[in-house]
């Protein structure tokens, strides 16, 4: 039997959304440390939210876009993270992994099957669409990829599917893509930066059901 699909709820900013992600068994939660995001939190805000998280619950992932070491170091001084999601070239992501000794998930924008990485020296890949023209941020844009693209892909490391997923589409996305894990931000929000507890619950339930429909 297929293992349950992993679920990441990204861009938590408020206790209600975080509590819902915990209560419904999210595997990862993401804190966005990118000021231009409507989900941006400060290290202190992330620390306050993280204090609500039980031992053995979701892993805490910090998201950074082209960060310098000082920004990551200052964040880690304020809040313990279990991993980093990095928007930067692979060489820079590797430097960060080496410096901070934390698992690094490398975010990769894809448009065609040829964009799917054949190799990776990181710990995981977040596969999502490239940002639309004029976007203020590289992720969190509610843009799905063609979910059939990864179906024959031999992923070099663990990966998760992201981009435009919702409670109504996530099971189909899993079935078409064969994704072992999924990641969502916009699709579980009532407004940018405001997570909806009911949508989070529905998303996680649907994702877990999607595991049994994979080809």
Ligand X SMILES: O=C(O)c1ccccc1NCC(=O)[C@H](O)[C@H](O)COP(=O)(O)O
22 vs 33 by CB, closer to ligand X: 33
Q: For strand 124-129 and strand 189-191, is the pairing parallel, antiparallel, or unpaired?
A: unpaired
What sign results for the dihedral spanned by CA atoms 24, 29, 35, 36? negative
Please report whether residue 6 would count as binding ligand X according to CB under 6 A. Answer: no
Write out the H or E segment, with its range, that includes residue 58.
Answer: none
Report in angstroms how near the CB of residue 181 gets to ligand X at its nearest. 12
What sign results for the dihedral spanned by CA atoms 173, 177, 183, 185? negative
Nearest to 66 by CA among 106, 111, 124: 106
Q: Which one of residues 30, 43, 180, 210 is an interface residue with ligand X (CB under 6 A)?
A: 30
Contact window for ligand X (CB under 6 A) among 49-57, 74-82, 182-190, 195-203: 182-190
**3-class DSSP assignment, residue 76:** helix
Q: Which two tokens stand for residue 40?
A: 């941006």
Each residue 128-167 as x (binds ligand X by CB under 6 A) or -, in order, gives: x--------xxxxxx-------------------xxxx--
Q: Which of residues 74-103 bind ligand X (CB under 6 A)?
A: 85, 87
Please report whether residue 186 would count as binding ligand X according to CB under 6 A. Answer: yes
Neighbours of 212 (CB within 10 A): 13
DSSP-assigned letter for residue 165: -
Contact window for ligand X (CB under 6 A) among 26-34, 41-49, 68-76, 94-102: 26-34
Report in angstroms how near the CB of residue 131 gets to ligand X at its nearest. 9
The answer to whether 18 touches 8, Cβ cutoff 8 Å, is no
CA 37 to CA 62: how far, in whole Å?
A: 13
27 vs 128 by CB, closer to ligand X: 128
Q: Which one of residues 5, 7, 10, 170 is an interface residue with ligand X (CB under 6 A)?
A: 10
Residues at the interface with ligand X (CB under 6 A):
10-11, 30, 32, 34, 37, 39, 63, 65, 85, 87, 126, 128, 137-142, 162-165, 183-187
């Amino acid at each position: 039997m297929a293992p349950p699909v992993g679920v990441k709820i990204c861009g938590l900013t408020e206790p209600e959304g975080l509590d819902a992600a915990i209560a419904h068994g999210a595997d990862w939660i993401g804190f966005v440390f990118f000021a231009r995001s409507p989900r941006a939190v400060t290290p202190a805000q992330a620390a306050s939210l993280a204090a609500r998280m039980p031992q053995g619950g979701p892993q805490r992932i910090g998201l950074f876009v082209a960060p310098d070491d000082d920004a990551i170091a200052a964040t880690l001084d304020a809040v313990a993270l279990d991993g980093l999601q990095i928007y930067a070239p692979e060489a820079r992501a590797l430097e960060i992994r080496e410096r901070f000794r934390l698992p690094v998930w490398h975010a990769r924008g894809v448009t065609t099957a040829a964009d799917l990485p054949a190799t990776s020296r990181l710990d995981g890949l977040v596969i999502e669409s490239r940002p639309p023209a004029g976007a203020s941020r590289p992720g969190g844009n509610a843009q799905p990829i063609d979910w059939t693209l990864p179906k024959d892909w031999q992923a070099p490391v663990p990966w998760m599917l992201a981009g435009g997923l919702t409670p109504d589409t996530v099971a189909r996305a899993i079935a078409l893509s064969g994704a072992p894990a999924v990641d969502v931000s916009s699709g579980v929000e009532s407004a940018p930066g405001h997570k909806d507890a009911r949508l989070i619950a529905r998303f996680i339930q649907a994702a877990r059901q999607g595991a049994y429909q994979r080809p």
